[in-house]
Amino acid sequence: MLFSSITFLYYFLPCVLIFYLISPKKLRNTVLLISSLVFYAWGEPGYVLLMAAGIMNGYISGMLTEKFRGRAASKAVLAVSSAVSIGMLAYFKYADFFIENFNAATGLSVPLLKIALPVGISFYTFQILSYVIDVYRGEAKAQRNPINLACYVSLFPQLIAGPIVRYSDIAQQLEQRTHTSEKTAEGIRRFILGLAKKVLIANALGELCGIYSESDEKSIVFSWMYAAAYSLQVYFDFSGYSDMAIGLGKLFGFDFMENFNYPYISKSITEFWRRWHISLGTWFRDYVYIPLGGNRVSKLRWLGNIFVVWLLTGFWHGAAWNFIIWGLYFAVFLVIEKLFLLEYLKKSKILSHIYVLFAVIISFVIFGASDINSAAECIRDMLGFGDIPLISAEQSYYLRSFGIILIIAVIGATEFPKKLVSGFEKTRYGKTVTAIAEPVFLGMLLLVSTAYLVDGSFNPFLYFRF
């Protein structure tokens, strides 16, 4: 089920909220668990059992890891549990990728498995891994209540597209959490803004990207328009989803970590990745980079660690070479920055912004391409080497038609709107005006987003495939 659907907004969510609010506190996790299973089964009825198997693996492993703590058996349990989790991910997400490449390398024709990718498997697998590792490290106690653990793994607000919530961050909240008017109102604000980011902006940009992809007639401006629109679409789609997830979490008393912090205002790629998909970056830092030794090793090994992490980061996003290249592409920038470039970037804000935007936009061309060749073609066209016109009449139409949404998206990707509102609130009547305008504005956003959903028939999230 999608957050941005009539079914979720007006059928599922109100029912869950009512059941949650009328339930005694000790049953609230059970209500959330049942709701989450319905939510998941709505889109993937067959894969509920797979998720349940993953949860069981986590539950048993957590108990055993704790029981054998300090002994070799604890490490063995962790190894087996991790192998099971990673094995599930490898089988369901990467099997065909490995077979295809094996066939290409050997000339054999091993048949593909053609397994449908279980929605959210990358997210909930990482959460199960995080739980077992946290228990192994002693950073969290094993969860004895299977409902609480199942609730953590399957919690519908963050089940299918994150943020990836670390068990140690949420363990306390699973047992006891507070509900205040402040938290609830903040949850509503985040959810509605996220919904609008997804429905009104990301989907419109997606329409433009779709036009580009289907068009045989390319031009330099059109290629740039696509690259910029796609970069913004991914941001508004994913950060909108994260806002909705964080907002829903607050409605149910949870505080999830932030996942985005205006990444497009970054002045280096290092900073960009501190602001983009923060929960994934944090996960790889804590569970891969630091265990590999981080930067407290020889320079060569340190650089190697960076490449390993970014190879995995790229591969996590999808079972295709363009994702691997995308990850390694960032590894190259990060290494160069760490070795010497960061010092230079501090000298000019404008140039450093241009550098980041150019590098990131190119990266998303690689990310969004169906294969390496089409990514290369698009980049070639953007750089003017494609023997194509500057712009055609058709593309000029699209530029005019999507011009306002592109401008809104660019401004919305910066801190400007937030600063504008907080600046206005500091004026004499600012607080009163915004207090009155806010519910009207949020109500309008909900109604307009609903209008778009009613008018549309298909509304997929980009990050579903991850």
> Cis before residue 146, ω within 30 degrees of 0?
no
Q: For 23-43, b where at least 16 C-beta lie within 10 A, e where not — what string? A: eeeeebbbbbbbbbbebbeee
DSSP state at residue 88 = H
Question: In the window 405-464, what residues touch another protein (CB under 8 A)?
Answer: 405, 408, 431-432, 435-436, 438-440, 442-443, 446-448, 450-457
Distances in whole angstroms, Cα of residue 83 to Cα of each of 47, 79, 118, 360: 19, 6, 18, 33
Q: Which of 30, 184, 261, 282 touches another protein by CB under 8 A?
A: 184
User: Residue type for 233, please?
Assistant: Q
* Shorter beta-carbon distance to another protein: residue 172 or 432: 432
* Least distance to another protein, CB of residue 274, Å: 30
* Shorter beta-carbon distance to another protein: residue 2 or 140: 2
Name every residue whose Cβ is closer than 8 Å to that of residue 368 and which is 6 or more positions away in sequence.
209, 230, 234
Distances in whole angstroms, Cα of residue 399 to Cα of each of 205, 221, 222, 403, 420: 11, 9, 8, 5, 27
* Least distance to another protein, CB of residue 429, Å: 11
Q: Which of 3, 13, 197, 254 touches another protein by CB under 8 A?
A: 13
Contact region for another protein (CB under 8 A) — 7-15, 169-177, 284-292, 336-344? 7-15
* Shorter beta-carbon distance to another protein: residue 239 or 449: 449
Q: Which of 31, 161, 202, 204 touches another protein by CB under 8 A?
A: 204
* Least distance to another protein, CB of residue 31, Å: 17
Residue closest to 168 by CA, chosen among 203, 189, 138 = 138
User: Is 140:171 a contact under the CB 8 Å cutoff?
Assistant: yes
Q: Which of 400, 426, 428, 429 touches another protein by CB under 8 A?
A: 400
Q: Which of 397, 410, 427, 460 touches another protein by CB under 8 A?
A: 397
Name every residue whose Cβ is closer than 8 Å to that of residue 268 and which is 6 or more positions away in sequence.
337, 341, 342, 345, 352, 355, 356
Q: Which of 23, 30, 43, 335 touches another protein by CB under 8 A?
A: 43
Residue closest to 227 by CA, chosen among 113, 368, 361, 73 = 361
> Is 353 in the active site?
no
User: Is 316:90 a contact under the CB 8 Å cutoff?
Assistant: no
* Least distance to another protein, CB of residue 458, Å: 9
* Least distance to another protein, CB of residue 338, Å: 42
Return residues touching another protein (CB under 8 A): 1, 5-7, 9-11, 13-14, 42-43, 45-46, 181-182, 184-186, 188-189, 192, 200, 204, 394, 397, 400-405, 408, 431-432, 435-436, 438-440, 442-443, 446-448, 450-457
Q: Which residues are catalytic?
A: 317
